[in-house]
Amino acid sequence: MNTLNESQYNAVMYNSGPSLVIAGAGSGKTRVLTYKVAQLIREGYAPNSILVLTFTNKAAKEMKSRITEMVDPRMARYVAMGTFHSQFSRILRDEHEYIGLTRDFTVYDTTDSKSLIKSIVKQMGLDEKLYTTNVVSGRISAAKNRLITPDNYGDKEGVTYDVLHRIPKVKDIFREYVERCKIANAIDFDDMLLLIYKLFVQHPEVLEKYQERFQFILIDEYQDTNLAQYKIIKLLADKHHRVCVVGDDSQSIYSFRGADINNILQFQSNYPEAKLFKLEKNYRSTENIVKAANSLIKRNSHRIPKTLYSDNGDGHLIKVYNPENESEEADVVVRQINRINRDENVSYNNFAVLYRTNSQSRVFEKKLRESRIPYAIYGSLSFYQRKSVKDMLAYLRLVVNPKDDESYLRAIKTPSKGIGDTTLERLRNAALERGVSLLEATDDLEGTEIKAAAGKRLIAFTEGIRKLRAGMSELSLIDLTKRILDFSGLMQYYSADNQDNDDALDNIDGLIKNITDYVEEKGKNDEIPTLSSFLSDAALQTDADKEEDVNTEKVSIMTVHASKGLEFDYVFIVGAEEELFPSPRCVADDEIEEERRLMYVAITRAAKRCFILYTNKRTRFGKDIYPQRSRFISEIDDNYLEMGNSFIERNRPTHISTSSYNKPTYSNPNPSLHKLVKPSIGLGAMASSDATKVKVGDMIEHSHFGVGEVLELIDAPSGRQMKVNFKNQGIKLMILKFVKFKILS
């Protein structure tokens, strides 16, 4: 009770059944999770019977570090804590016989998956402009996250979307992709969920084993779980119902990744005996920031009611600036950063610039450079995605798993082994005909039309990999890594009279240091480090785990999505305009609600000051547009807003706006001197001509949701609405005057 408030304490101490902890922004959810694990150990739960699932390795590492300070470190070590993927990967490796793979299977990242898909599309002779890797990989990933396999893709997913978008062969690509992964002894990230679910459903004895092992399950950021994660947890907790989920429905912003907010909203329906705890005290922000965020998010209808409060004093009002264009927008931000840095002696690391899309960063980078303000783009390419690192990883992975064709192709091409694309294509065809890997196909090159000289090079490469593999049982991990590095020739390749490759050499050196650190860490825990286990851990590192220090003397600039989980004293939210924030792709009410949650996340990143900016003119796709300020500004209670005074009012251009919204007007002739007077948002007509003709029972086609049937037409204060059941997206409620569609029948 000395270190927890009453709500936190009650959430920690209740362990008799399922519980839902709604943790508002800055309310100390990590503290609750760590104390709860310590309390469970105190109550007699064996550490390895406690399963804690997170969405980032950094979150798991932080929690385990805190738990170590509260309980015997030897006990904390054995808590089953990590990301969904890391924990399920361990189970799949332990139960690999059930899924038809060896224990040393490879985990394909997004780059590997897309490379394989591109190869399959080419092999099938399909139009690569239609069957782009992004589109096809997105379709396959979405299917897997809904627990759909190639066998039931047509039944459950339906092919209407694919046919309408002229990609009817996605199902065939999906089937070939799965088969090629199996031959390569590989899985992708989505498979970790799909295969775990299939394992538990098809083998009840395996499910029972893990139900017995995991006596208590805790899940962080539950609002970000998808259908597969929900069903897996339901299976694991079905026997004892000792499950605690922690999250905030108001921060559910990842539906584009498959996250389903209904998992947290319906938790009490799925577990009727569940206790609800609300963490409503915000320890981060001032009262004005918290109240402004409350006033915005309460406009969402799909939410669990809560009211955040703060004891940090009123603080400043949220200041809203209306610069003329994006260049002036960046000027305003840079001037404010300079002023606060100079006058209040505030370090640059206390500032963040948040935007809706990555394309907005350019002008801020330019202005910050011109002002000699150090900055870092948060969320850029992670270490394990850098080219030279992936080049070295390909050799390491191939030694562990010789069937890994994607690693084989990358390794044999970098550095070049004098083997051309024609030779590799013939080798691939031979491998596909025999149902073996590329490396195995080199054992018999007869009938492949591969020339003798190229054949000798292939065989020499294969023999080299097999010799290295033989050394796995003889050499230490560090010595084995050095031998593989020598064999690869990458150091010479990147050193060859090319100063531009200094970063590549540093990256490879960084990888070797990571392996050295890994060996030392395993030694502390009396574990034997292996190349296989290192690669498994490395494969599970995501962009969210990138080692970026936001506490360095740099201004952080990033998307709002990337800012979730972070906090800064001073936050600038830029581009708060209709058709930008909220996104122009949002037409349905549930999509607008997610955009509103995104603005809520942006505001609640701020501890001391929050600034919101919107422009009169913005250049997009080479054209000048004149946007309406974001509806979200008008939805914030004006008691918590103040109009900035560092811009000059200008006359509106007389030419026609390309925006769908009207320019806001102010009843106050000099808004720079007073609180913000919110305009009525004039929404221009966006609908197609079919909007006046549609009737119940019509089949319509929407550019984003596809084909659906009109179930109901509703007269509402916001305008006439229609309820549509889309074949691939479910039921959507849409305001007719905003939605573009055409009637099919």
Q: How far apart are CA 331 and CA 326, in angstroms?
A: 9
Query: Token pair 């979307």 is at which residue?
Result: 161
Q: Give just the sign of the alpha carbon dihedral 423, 429, 434, 437.
A: positive
Task: Please pick, among 176, 191, 220, 577, the residue that the annotation labels catalytic.
Answer: 220
Question: Taking a C-beta distance cutoff of 8 angstroms, is the pair 190, 139 a contact?
Answer: no
Low-confidence ranges of the chain (pLDDT < 70): 1, 155-159, 379-381, 497-502, 542-551, 587, 621, 645-690, 703-704, 716-719, 728-730, 738, 745
- The burial of 680, by beta-carbon neighbours within 10 Å (0-12 exposed, 13-18 middle, 19 or more buried), is given as exposed
Which candidate in 95, 162, 191, 221 is catalytic?
A: 221
Indicate the DSSP class of residue 630: P
Residue among 701, 699, 742, 692 nearest 719 (CA):
692
Instruction: Please confirm, yes or no, whether 605 is among the known catalytic residues.
Output: yes
pLDDT digits (tens, 9 = 90+) for 68-79: 888 888 888 899
Q: Whole-prediction pTM value?
A: 0.79
Name the nearest CA neighbour of 346 among 555, 548, 549, 550.
555
**Which residues fall within 8 angstroms of residue 717, CB to CB, at 6 or more apart?**
none
Q: What's the pLDDT at 26? A: 93
Residue 448's pLDDT is 85
> Are 181 and 174 in contact, with CB atoms under 8 Å apart?
no
Q: How far apart are CA 654 and CA 634, in angstroms?
A: 25
How confident is the model at residue 273, as a pLDDT? Answer: 95
Concerning whether 251 is annotated as a catalytic residue, the answer is yes
Q: What is the pLDDT of residue 242?
A: 95
pLDDT at 175: 94
Burial class (CB in 10 A: 0-12, 13-18, 19+), 476: exposed
Query: Sheet of 699-702: strands edge to edge?
Result: 730-735, 721-726, 706-714, 699-702, 741-743
221 belongs to the catalytic site: yes
Helix axes 502-524, 477-488, angle to 10 degrees: 160
- What pLDDT, on the 0 to 100 scale, is given for residue 711? 85
- Concatenating the DSSP letter of every residue in 153-190 gives IIIII-SHHHHHTT-TTHHHHHHHHHHHHHHTTEEEHH
Give the residue from 387, 449, 400 showing the smallest Cα distance to 424: 449
- Short-list 383, 438, 388, CA closest to 414: 388
Q: Residue 125: left (phi > 0), alpha (psi -120 to 50), or beta? A: left
Going by C-alpha positions, the residue among 190, 97, 96, 118 that lies closest to residue 405 is 118
In contact, 231 and 144? CB cutoff 8 Å:
no
CA–CA separation, 720 and 713 (whole Å): 7
Distance CA(412)–CA(526), nearest Å, equals 36
Nearest to 224 by CA among 203, 198, 252: 252
199-250 residue pLDDT tens: 999 999 999 999 999 999 999 999 999 999 999 999 999 999 999 999 999 9
For residue 457, indicate whether it is catalytic.
Answer: no
Give the Cα separation of 631 and 10 in Å (integer): 38
Annotated catalytic residue, options 8, 29, 171, 564: 29
Both tokens of 43, joined, read 């109550």
C-alpha span between 690 and 198 (Å, rounded): 45
Residue from 83, 87, 251, 559 carrying the catalytic annotation: 251
CA distance 64 to 78: 10
Among 139, 278, 356, 605, the active-site one is 605
Report helix, strand or coil for 721: strand
